[in-house]
Structure 1
């Protein structure tokens, strides 16, 4: 095997009752990203450029929980996170607590390439964005907000994916603590709030849970690998909470062997250093890419729910998840392409 390859994801943990039209919309978005990436790689683009490009596409579309589609914190604000890593030299950049930047993944790349640091957060990251703003980089000062609210809450007040209004969601979440098992909601706030499947992600019923993350991994025609991950975080998370997505080695990792992006229950992914573990399993146990992904999902999560996408320097693509579905897609140089949600 060989040549370029791409994999993308839009988060792990999907309500099985997600309407067919929403499933189709997710697949169209992922397939469109794969087409964009394939065109770029056919033209000789490098992996690091393609992962940034495709994660920007996913951040800009409000369907998934990143960028314009970010979840709201307990205060009704947005705190976005992203990271990017280049495999050949293992350079990386990450940001957290972002509120005003349209594409956090691009700010993470600026941190990687134009700062002496690997990670900037909150006001320091916002200040760095302003410093970096220029005519050539207009993304930096593109604002997401209108009247202090994210674009997708202005007007009808409905949260992303059309599942539930923010006020209704807050009503329900007051009765719900993360990591506490609850099967049903005792309140009644309309048909959108019938949470009785018993399936949970991050302590939230799958019906209200918004898949947390988007990500992309690429190997280019030179064998160079790169990964990028971006998220709006957990619905109703405490302000200041940082998940796995911006943490190099947890949610994102790339080296000379492979590139990995993770999604799911952030605290479990952090404890497992899941992305780095996939690479380490390949390096130290000598397993192939899919075997390494399978091993990490099965042995490292300690009961947590997560999903992984990965590519190797040899053009292999792999994914795995132990959650109720994962939005995902992949494409390879030999013409193979697929998108999927379920097992």
Structure 2
């Protein structure tokens, strides 16, 4: 048994010719957050604290679709959401519809620890944030020129968008990415998440997002739904990314745990099976097991991801290993 962690910055139709000036900051950020996680686990930080720490760092980074980098809904507002789960106790907390909270993941943890509930949303969640004294800012903090341009593009195309928007569900080839089949959504960004197992074998998962560009006001995705975008128990911890509606229907995070618990599958086999059951280009996840295994499957073209284990293995990647 040993510690392990994995994190993601979203999955989708990430083109192989992704502009270097947009690609490199994301890769550097993943590597930075991975190193923070490695050092914290080496120092004995509990898994629950670790996943909150790493996701906070990702939320504070404008290059991902969470916190500072959250995309805008159809009214031009941010509506952030997050959830966190402790695998040892199955305690969990979730929030949605946040407009002023700097770190949604920390408010989700406060919901878990300071209320009798699991999920708070919109005005109720904002009021709870003020009551708890968490850091809040004017909503203009989350609005920038890039996000305004993303919203403009989405409105012109009359669609909600995340990453690169695909017009069908066939797996793309590098040639496809230069055809009209793929419509770039500006400087694409993704949901963030982190999973970890600590030195004591305790597991935890955390996920945070700004949702979809041009989504309807009030839409809630998979990120704050326990069992869909986030799940942890005594066997594994899972954080998902992709098309929220598909992930909710398929309860992908819980499926990984169920396949391990009831079918006796390994983490890698369970994670692969769960993702393969989804339509192409809709889902990806990162997961760790109680024994320190790591899985990071996806059926999209790419997924910003990173992992490390106590035995010294580490990886930062975007596309399948044959393309990286």
- Separation in 2 of the partners of 1:242 and 1:290? 29
- The aligned length equals 308
Q: 1:177 aligns with which of 148, 159, 167?
A: 159
Structure 1 unaligned regions, length at least 5:
134-139, 160-165, 184-193, 200-204
Alignment-derived partner of residue 32 in structure 1: 32
User: Normalised by the size of structure 1, how large is the TM-score?
Assistant: 0.85
How do 1:299-310 residues align onto structure 2 when only pairs under 5 Å count? 299=277, 301-303=278-280, 305-310=282-287
Q: Highest Rg: 1 or 2?
A: 1
Distance in 2 (CA, whole Å) between partners of 1:88 and 1:58 is 24
1:311 to 288, 291, 296: 288
Match among 302, 319, 332 for residue 309 of structure 2: 332
1:198 to 174, 178, 181: 181
> What TM-score does the superposition give when structure 2 sets the normalisation length?
0.90
Q: Unmatched 5+ residue regions in structure 2?
A: 169-176
Deviation for aligned residue 1:173: 2.5
Q: Deviations over 1:48-101 (max 9, x none)?
A: 000000000000011100000000000000000000000011000000000111
Question: Quick check: 1:149 aligned with 2:140?
Answer: yes
SS of 1:108's partner is helix
Distance 2:248 2:59 in 1: 22
RMSD: 2.1
CA 1:197–1:6 in structure 2 vs 1: closer, same or farther (change >3 Å)? Answer: farther
* Other-structure match for 1:9: 8
5 Å matches for 1:1-343?
Answer: 2-13=1-12, 14-133=14-133, 140-143=134-137, 145=138, 149-153=140-144, 157-159=145-147, 166-167=148-149, 169-178=151-160, 182=167, 196-199=179-182, 205-208=183-186, 210-299=188-277, 301-303=278-280, 305-343=282-320
Distance in 1 between residues matched to 2:199 and 2:89, nearest whole Å: 17
Give the direction of change, closer, same or farther, for the CA distance of 1:249–1:172 in structure 2 (3 Å limit).
Answer: closer
* Partner secondary structure for residue 238 of structure 2: strand
